[in-house]
Structure 1
Amino acid sequence: MPSVEPVEAGLRYRVLGPMEVGAGAADATPRAAKLRVALAALLLQTNAVVSVQALADELWAERPPRTATMTLQVYVSQLRRILEVMDPERGRDLLVTRTPGYLLLVDPDELDLVVFERLHRRGLDAARRGDDALAASLQRQALRLWRGPLLSDVPHGPILGATAVRMSELRLDALEHRVRADLHLGRHHALVSELRALTSEYALHEDLHAHLMVALYRSGRQADALRAFVDLRRAMVDELGIEPGPALRALHRQVLDGDPELLGLRDRAVVASVDTRHRADAVRLPPAAEFIGRDDVVSEVEAALAEIAAGRPGPACVGVHGMPGAGKSALALRIAHRAVTAFPDGRVIVDMRSPTGGPRSRSEAFAAFLRGTGVTGHLPTDDEELASAVRGLLERERILVVLDNVTSEGQVQPFLPATPGSAVVVTSRAPLTGIAGPASVRLGVLEPGPAARLFAATAGAEAVYDRSDEVSEVAALCGNLPIALLAAGRRVASEPGGDLTAYTAMLRSPESRWDQLRIHELDVRAVLLSGYAAATEPVRRAFRWLSQLPAGGFPPSVVAAVLDIDPAEAATVVHGLVDAQLLETLGTGRSARFRYHELLSVLARELLSTQDEPVAARTAFDRVWTVYLDLCRHADHLLSPGRSFWAGPGAGKRAAAIVGEEPLAWFAAERQSLIQLVGALFEAELWRPGWQLAESLGSYLEAVAAWGDWEATQQLAMDAAARLGDPVPRAVSLASLGDLAWQRRRYPEAEESYRRAAEIAEQSGLAQPLSRALVGLADLRLADGDHARARVLAERALSVSDTAGDLWGSCNALRSLAFGLLGDNRPDDALRAMMECAVLAGRLRHRRFEGFALAAAHRIATLDGRAGSEALEIQPGLWRLSN
């Protein structure tokens, strides 16, 4: 008999249940909820760096406070004190600050989650070698570590939620493998009662029911084993409308036949995973897993139906709408199966779509309903007689009618009951608020966690075991759309060995993604294409052309600009796209934005390349970048007047209307779209507009200290400038990289960039970039304390700018000169230079810089000889600390 390892003795961190840190008298478990969340996130990614952003998402979801970074630093400090209580000698050193976040050092033997996974893997290995005794012992030890749901006393965010799902599945897997090993060891008598409880808890888990059938059969209870199958089959048919999988049906036949093979200790008939591929219907999805993440929607619809059944006044109709493939029909089917008590006289499902894809005629829909209620014999041929028969049934009986694939409110009106008792559930793409009223529920895509679980459940435990990163990536590539997740899971499950890495690689490519999302009759592209086919031609054209817009979302005003139509027409087009479920809506009112679902974006780009002339895709993209470049340049001018280094026509009324008077707000809303577009222009080898867009974006990214995005876009700009062979872009980009390095205190890097920019600009006679580079060098000398050299460089920059009539260059040179003079103990001259700077900023209408210059002038005037010992704002928002 294998020995039991005392694994609990060395544990210092317990997360398989409520959080526990330390033990006994040395209990150091945090009491504050936020501290437990932070520690839990670090423990679940033990010995790996957890970024500040990931911790912020875990702590505050999508609404972090403005002081999030500082608050997180406080939490880290408190955690270090807690760790010191647990381990006075080295506790504080266990939590390490490491870019881009924090690292918690934990010995693998100290965390119960890691010990559990190790024991579980060893148990699987032992089972593969045929050592059932060791396998059962190891899995039993692993399961003993569980004290309840993962971190049951800690609020769950993205990290904790995803891990909780994974660990719950892994615990069930360990339990199933332990039972399997015990069956192989002949412990069937002892297992019966345990398996009875487990199959009650996991009512649709086919593996556990198979184990129960085998245990009962080996215990001489053949009739009970057959009854177990009948009970499972009834539950699956009632709740899901499907039969058990082929493996379980084969086992049932063996029990029925009294197959002596089932008496062997290593039983081959016990299924390893649920086979979910025995239904081809692309909408009525078979497995119980299909309803992962839909509990809230099911509850909402069932609550509305309960009110209708109780005689609530108002429409006796509940609407479920959403994009194709969201699982509307399957959800309605599930609700109908569960509504036995509320509607005891019947639940009837009528597909309102004809076999040809169009809407069913009234007479066909009436006939389908009547046959569904059990009416036999001859039916009337007259529409009114059929309608009268339908109304009569609905008035006499308490019936739930599910009208699936509805396209208009007119299809529903004849089925609305005139008296209390019956109800209608409608599934449609667009909301039918005219008939459903407030009881209209949108079925969107799944959240990332449930989406990953749905794919994993469909693909099978073996295929996705310990592959959480790839599972999450597959879910994202499927856009978290249920039909795509099921198609992907079935593809992986259908391949012997289920190579998830290879499948994920093929799914990444837009060219092969549709092939990877098609299996048997389940074709995700065809389902999505049906929504496009049903739209009007203007909507279809907009769907194709707007696919060139960045993925981050866009407002209706940009739609008007890209399609070159007036705003009212653009609003109609957008409304049509949303109604056809070809666009998703973000926000409401004036702040509303729109975006493509991941898969609809792929489809729209494909259709643009195949249904329009070859030049159309390039024309659409050219319109997109032209519009965004115009908008970005206008916003840049409002934010930093006079700073731009490239000439072009002034912004039109459309750009001014779209950007408005708050450039920072516009940049914030469009930031990700603009950054994506810079990359897209680079990929398209449109070097000049790519450089221009990056340069126009630079002042905003500098203003908000977005160092990473600023560096990424400026590096692309530098590459584009090199390819253009034009000295202007090269000099400007080098000066921008110098500014970035200077802001980040990378002074040698800044020095090199400024010197190269100055050399190119001087050789080519380019006044603006030369002045900017000289000011940059002057600022470096100020940082060195070489005020005399800084003043010389700033004076030269001022001369260059004045000669060229560059007001912004002169303004910036005067700023640097003022601080050089101040460092030379010439406060009166410094004050005059700063006041001149303020005057020029006023002429430029650069209100932010004018305010800075006036504040700096006031500060200089009140220093009273203390310039070397005071903190000074040397640029808007950038301070030089005291020496």
Structure 2
Amino acid sequence: MRFFRAALDGEGEQAHIDQIVGLCNGLPLALTIMAARSQVSPIEELASSARNTRNRLAEIADGERSIRSAFEISYLALPEHLRRILGMLGLHPGGDWTAHHVAALADLDLATARRYLERLVNARLIERNSSQRFEIHDLIGDFARLKADSDLSAAARDAARSRLIAWSLDMVARADEAITPGRYRPPIEPTGHSVPFTDEASASAWLAAEQKNLVAACQLAFDTGADSACWRLAAMLRGHFFLTKQWDDWLATHTWALAAAERARDRDGEAMTRNNLGLALMEIGRLDEADEHFLIVLNRLADAGDGFARANALANHAAIAYCRGEYERSLRLNQEALTLYVERRHARNQAITLRSIGLVELELGRHEQAVTHLTMALQMFSVPHRPISLDGAMAVNCLGEAWLRAGTWRRPSPGSHAGSRTAATAAAATRRRGRYVDSARWRSPRADQRTRESAGVPRSAISADSAPPRPRRSPA
């Protein structure tokens, strides 16, 4: 960088220099070439080319040297199988990657993929980042994409992309199962690749690390016409988005998914996607838009998913009615949804709907019924030898609210403090999952500050005018 500025003899505006440096992306050879060009071309002209070029590799050349020629020398020194791997890395749609991605792209076993990546690191064509994942310099990435187009057949490129999409879908489905067992899922074809996580915690960490790549894979599936994989991948990701509040990616993936399902005329995919997209819109307060999706499912796609779509749409439509203060209507819709879930033996959805029914009954002043239904929900969410799930924590929160409200008509036995203990249990459970916002949102304003702090909820997560619980529909 110092050499580049010296070659400019102090001339040129800082903005022009920054544009040229941005083109080179910090690569020393690229900076050297552009500094040499600055001796014969005006800095403004070089900056304009840097801004407008669509081919960075062609732009970084001075007649004697070019960045592409330098990459070509390194590329041709590789054995054929490593040249193939570098080209396939040019097909990867996301950010950094691991050996698992390369194993999927190139149809390799994991040990071979790791060995090949180590060779490419030694050749200085890729590098490890601070997270010990692999990444490629932007300019070398451009070169890899050119090699994918020139050295791999169209069939080979299509097959590699299809393998990566299938692997992404398989892994996300397995991660979602590790985090939320018992959720209704569409059929997913296993790929046979090893799983890069072992339990709920590592599955959550894997999803967080891979989110950018998985969203890119969903878009790739849409762009390449892999419609079934597109909507299924979005559906498998929505549980992660719900837990982490990733609204933009939730909306983006499900917008592609809905278009893909409609393009394929896949009624099951469209119905599931509309229910999930409606949930995202409901979470961010766009109730009318959310309800449009639920009503389309009820009016046009009710038979999709063997009737499961109708049950979900009814339950989601009930949550909209609750938010609008239409409590009796919300109760009727939830009861209808519950009947369908019972008929189809979807236990988790029964528990979610019982929890929603309990919340509605609280608003209707039917405290005894609310306690009964919330207790039933909590029992159904409880899994022996597993920590309390987020669904269970939400049920405990609601039950704590029910006991606190019940104090106005029936007080627990002296000294029992059932409501405060229940609320403290819920707050601790949500805190263990890093869900401070939910812990605060679901807490009652009548639970005292001492109970909240004893549960470990930060003061910053608790508002003085915290609202009573609202019917947050867990992803079905």
Shift of residue 670, structure 1, vs aligned partner: 0.7
How many residues are matched? 420
Matched letter for residue 478 of structure 1:
C
1:503 and 2:49 correspond: yes
1:777 and 2:317 correspond: yes
Change (3 A) 1:842 1:696: same
Change (3 A) 1:769 1:609: same
**How many Å separate the matches in 1 of 2:331 and 2:210?**
39
The normalised TM-score by structure 2 is 0.78
Change (3 A) 1:734 1:474: farther
Shift of residue 564, structure 1, vs aligned partner: 3.4
**How many Å separate the matches in 1 of 2:224 and 2:286?**
32
**How many Å separate the matches in 2 of 1:777 and 1:702?**
18
Change (3 A) 1:579 1:653: closer
Match of 2:194, SS?
A: helix
**How many Å separate the matches in 1 of 2:257 and 2:396?**
34
Aligned residue for 2:82? Answer: 539
Any residues of structure 2 matched to 1:667-706 within 5 Å, and which? 667-706=207-246
Change (3 A) 1:699 1:500: farther
Shift of residue 480, structure 1, vs aligned partner: 2.1
Matched letter for residue 406 of structure 2:
D
The match for 2:28 among 479, 482, 490 is: 482
1:611 and 2:151 correspond: yes
Q: Which structure's residues are more often strand, by fraction?
A: 1
**How many Å separate the matches in 2 of 1:726 and 1:852?**
34
Aligned residue for 2:110? Answer: 567
Match of 1:519, SS?
A: coil
Change (3 A) 1:627 1:531: same
**How many Å separate the matches in 2 of 1:764 and 1:743?**
24
Match of 1:522, SS?
A: coil
1:741–1:747 CA contact under 8 A, matched in 2:
yes
The match for 1:633 among 161, 173, 177 is: 173
Any residues of structure 2 matched to 1:820-839 within 5 Å, and which? 820-839=360-379
Aligned residue for 1:438? Answer: none
1:551–1:596 CA contact under 8 A, matched in 2:
no
2:93–2:217 CA contact under 8 A, matched in 1:
yes
**How many Å separate the matches in 1 of 2:180 and 2:121?**
37
Shift of residue 772, structure 1, vs aligned partner: 2.1
Aligned residue for 1:786? Answer: 326
2:126–2:137 CA contact under 8 A, matched in 1:
yes
Q: Per-residue CA shift, 1:94-142, capped at 9, x if unaligned?
A: xxxxxxxxxxxxxxxxxxxxxxxxxxxxxxxxxxxxxxxxxxxxxxxxx
Any residues of structure 2 matched to 1:187-586 within 5 Å, and which? 289-290=2-3, 454=4, 465=13, 467=15, 472=18, 474-488=20-34, 494-495=40-41, 498-499=44-45, 502-507=48-53, 509=54, 512-586=55-129
Aligned residue for 1:709? Answer: 249
Aligned residue for 2:463? Answer: none
Change (3 A) 1:461 1:751: farther
Change (3 A) 1:459 1:736: farther
> Max radius of gyration: which structure?
1
Aligned residue for 1:861? Answer: 403
RMSD: 3.3
1:491–1:517 CA contact under 8 A, matched in 2:
no
Shift of residue 624, structure 1, vs aligned partner: 1.4
Change (3 A) 1:642 1:475: farther
1:757 and 2:261 correspond: no
Shift of residue 571, structure 1, vs aligned partner: 2.5
**How many Å separate the matches in 1 of 2:272 and 2:294?**
10
2:94–2:217 CA contact under 8 A, matched in 1:
no
Q: Quick one: percent identity of the two aligned structures?
A: 24
Q: Per-residue CA shift, 1:486-513, capped at 9, x if unaligned?
A: 4345557755684467523543x3xx33
Match of 2:90, SS?
A: helix
Matched letter for residue 684 of structure 1:
T
**How many Å separate the matches in 2 of 1:660 and 1:548?**
30
Shift of residue 743, structure 1, vs aligned partner: 1.2
Shift of residue 570, structure 1, vs aligned partner: 2.5
Matched letter for residue 579 of structure 1:
N
**How many Å separate the matches in 1 of 2:39 and 2:247?**
44
Shift of residue 555, structure 1, vs aligned partner: 2.1
Shift of residue 648, structure 1, vs aligned partner: 2.1
Matched letter for residue 739 of structure 1:
L
Match of 2:128, SS?
A: strand
Q: Per-residue CA shift, 1:759-809, capped at 9, x if unaligned?
A: 233254752222222222222222233221111111111112222233333
**How many Å separate the matches in 1 of 2:367 and 2:19?**
60
Shift of residue 882, structure 1, vs aligned partner: 3.0
Change (3 A) 1:516 1:547: same
Matched letter for residue 58 of structure 2:
D
Shift of residue 754, structure 1, vs aligned partner: 2.3
Match of 2:285, SS?
A: coil
Shift of residue 460, structure 1, vs aligned partner: 7.9
Higher relative contact order (CA 8 A, sep 6+): 2
Aligned residue for 2:452? Answer: none
**Mean alpha-carbon deviation: is it higher for 480-489 or for 670-679?**
480-489
The normalised TM-score by structure 1 is 0.44
Q: Which runs of 5 or more structure 2 residues have no equivalent in the other structure?
A: 410-419, 443-465, 469-476
1:834–1:856 CA contact under 8 A, matched in 2:
yes
Change (3 A) 1:480 1:669: same
1:802 and 2:342 correspond: yes
Q: Which structure's residues are more often helix, by fraction?
A: 2
Aligned residue for 1:848? Answer: 390
Shift of residue 474, structure 1, vs aligned partner: 4.9
Q: Which runs of 5 or more structure 1 residues have no equivalent in the other structure?
A: 1-287, 291-453
Aligned residue for 2:135? Answer: 595
Change (3 A) 1:837 1:473: farther
